[in-house]
Chains A and B, each alone.
Chain A
């Protein structure tokens, strides 16, 4: 900072910085909270601007009785999910065979038999063995919401659970969902990494990160909405991989690993925001210095 800066301009610069962060002020009002949950991923406009022909087909189609919602809503019950009742019946029966037979056609066929179908019935599942993996991912993700209350019960001696603590708790809870099938999880990861399944796998990962931040009560609407979810996704994927080789009791090493990674991510995030703040301050101050010299900016 150059000594020429006057007290007045310094004060103005600080005010300018506060003004560039509208989100914090917004967050205090209830209306802002509602928009946060819907706005970043709303699909209103796309659904209205679809060609007429498409809409007509959807009216006739029975497939559309299972709409997929792309946002969280307090007002409406969640849609039934991506699996039709028949698929659900086969997959839920097949899922019980995963610890023994893995995420394989074998498990699927055994499940179909149990549900009263034929070996050949499993071929209507569009993605074969990957359907079973997706079933696991979707069910574990959906199960998180039900466990939230028990997870966040505040201990007597503690007043408040912060969002980052909640995120850590939820991520750990989700990782424990893999414990039952951990012996088969490496093979599942290998299937998920096949080129044709990568898009669906990444989509599921993004949904999980979004779910965790939503359940943790994060309501940011700034660009950190994306960076937080991206960093959590990478951390979660790394922890998942770590867990497949973890032989410590109750996966203690994985938990430590998760804590370290999340800590690093938040340190990195705070460092980045500090740098951003410094650059913003210096730039505004510089402009004010020029203004004080009579430059018309």
Chain B
């Protein structure tokens, strides 16, 4: 499906804010559990007992269902339709993606990404005696098409932490974005190119991946259970049709102790004044820049609407916990007052 087919529908849906589709996770999954209020007095035993998510039985909302309604920007579509439309958006923006990121965030997205990678410190390992001084790591970069995060990971692991035993699998649902990344990777040192792997996959089902530009009828390869040390997704998860399903798939492929790390646009509600300016910029300027620079207003209209529809820091953290991960501290870190946020979760030991 090309993006031009999506445009009329997009326009119709703009500003249709009375949308009734909500994130099913936070509402149905967690609100039903007994409330544990934070009280300063008369504490009861139940408020101290930790809640353990039951990850063995997958709730209904976390199973991908092509006919279930979800949202595409401010519009309500089915999960299957969203997948196609997102593919359309990113096929259309792939070429101008990096230039547009710089223009929209004043280059600040580079600082977020650098901080994201530095806070994960990939490849770090204490020196131990023996033939293999540094422990190997496998990093899976989901929705990492253009390689922004993956290349930074490799730089940190190989050059700063001196650990050549780190390999990165870049996965994206969109071959156009992957092609851009593949092209950019040609300028990396050969040692880094050798450990990069590009695969086409849907993040909700990582059992069916295929190498980039392979025959569509070729056999698919599965990413095995408990094979990944670090699962990253930067500015990608809000485009997923079924986020709970993707979180559970991340849980499956991670080793016990492995880390799920997500960098995503978030809410600035804590700073009302800055929030007003930020909203004005994102709804007023970004679609216009998209039209002028990339010649594609609708894709960037979708971008800002999808940011608006993405859950808040706390809600998303609760979705991560609901998928079975454990979080440290409050579970997220705000960047630039909450314009973006880093969420991390660790798969507990079995």
Indicate whether B333 reaches chain A with its CB closer than 8 angstroms.
yes
Chain B residues with CB under 8 A of A60: 26, 30-31, 33, 318
Contact with A along B34-53 (1 / 0, CB 8 A): 01111111010001111101
* A128 vs B120: C-alpha distance when bound (angstroms): 10
> Interface stretch among A119-127, A146-154, A208-216?
A119-127
Chain A residues with CB under 8 A of B317: 61, 63
- Expressed in whole angstroms, the minimum distance between the Cβ of A51 and any Cβ of chain B is 11
Chain B residues with CB under 8 A of A127: 329
Indicate whether B304 reaches chain A with its CB closer than 8 angstroms.
no
- Expressed in whole angstroms, the minimum distance between the Cβ of A183 and any Cβ of chain B is 19
Indicate whether A23 reaches chain B with its CB closer than 8 angstroms.
no
Q: Which of B36, B40, B326 contacts A47 (CB 8 A)?
A: B40
Indicate whether A43 reaches chain B with its CB closer than 8 angstroms.
yes
* A7 vs B92: C-alpha distance when bound (angstroms): 97
Which residue on chain A has the smallest CB distance to residue B42? A76
Indicate whether B216 reaches chain A with its CB closer than 8 angstroms.
no
Specify which of A55, A57, A86, A120 lies most central, judged by the most chain B CB atoms within 10 Å of its CB. A120
* A116 vs B38: C-alpha distance when bound (angstroms): 32
Indicate whether A157 reaches chain B with its CB closer than 8 angstroms.
no
B261 close to A123 (CB less than 8 A): yes
B328 close to A87 (CB less than 8 A): yes
Which residue on chain A has the smallest CB distance to residue B333? A126
B257 close to A117 (CB less than 8 A): yes
Residues of A in contact (CB 8 Å), total: 44
Q: Which of A80, A101, A124 contacts B328 (CB 8 A)?
A: A124
Which residue on chain A has the smallest CB distance to residue B327? A124
Chain B residues with CB under 8 A of A124: 259, 326-328, 344-346
B49 close to A65 (CB less than 8 A): yes
Chain A residues with CB under 8 A of B345: 124
* A62 vs B53: C-alpha distance when bound (angstroms): 10
Q: Which of B315, B328, B346, B348 contacts A57 (CB 8 A)?
A: B315
Which residue on chain B has the smallest CB distance to residue A119? B125
Indicate whether B338 reaches chain A with its CB closer than 8 angstroms.
no
A120 close to B229 (CB less than 8 A): yes
A65 close to B43 (CB less than 8 A): no
Indicate whether B244 reaches chain A with its CB closer than 8 angstroms.
no
A126 close to B329 (CB less than 8 A): yes
* A126 vs B10: C-alpha distance when bound (angstroms): 40
B349 close to A116 (CB less than 8 A): yes
Which residue on chain A has the smallest CB distance to residue B51? A62
- Expressed in whole angstroms, the minimum distance between the Cβ of A132 and any Cβ of chain B is 13
A64 close to B255 (CB less than 8 A): no
- Expressed in whole angstroms, the minimum distance between the Cβ of B283 and any Cβ of chain A is 23
A58 close to B40 (CB less than 8 A): no
- Expressed in whole angstroms, the minimum distance between the Cβ of A110 and any Cβ of chain B is 5
Contact with A along B315-332 (1 / 0, CB 8 A): 101100100001111110
* A177 vs B290: C-alpha distance when bound (angstroms): 60
A61 close to B329 (CB less than 8 A): no
- Expressed in whole angstroms, the minimum distance between the Cβ of B17 and any Cβ of chain A is 18
Contact with A along B202-217 (1 / 0, CB 8 A): 0000000000000000
Query: Beyond A59-B37, A121-B257, is A105–B50 a contact (Cβ under 8 Å)?
Result: no
B318 close to A62 (CB less than 8 A): yes
Q: Which of B51, B53, B120, B255 contacts A123 (CB 8 A)?
A: B120
Specify which of B124, B256, B257 lies most central, judged by the most chain A CB atoms within 10 Å of its CB. B257
* A121 vs B317: C-alpha distance when bound (angstroms): 17
A65 close to B47 (CB less than 8 A): yes
In the complex, the 6 A-B pairs of residues with the closest C-beta atoms, listed nearest first = A126-B329, A117-B257, A124-B328, A118-B257, A60-B30, A59-B35
List 25 A-B pairs, Cβ < 8 Å.
A42-B40, A47-B39, A55-B37, A58-B37, A59-B35, A59-B37, A60-B33, A62-B51, A64-B37, A71-B40, A80-B48, A86-B328, A105-B124, A112-B257, A116-B257, A117-B256, A118-B229, A119-B135, A120-B122, A121-B259, A123-B119, A124-B344, A125-B329, A126-B328, A126-B333
Query: Told that A63-B330, A64-B38, A65-B51 touch, could you supply 10 new A-B pairs with CB distance under 8 A?
Result: A47-B39, A62-B318, A65-B49, A69-B40, A86-B328, A116-B256, A116-B257, A121-B346, A124-B327, A124-B328
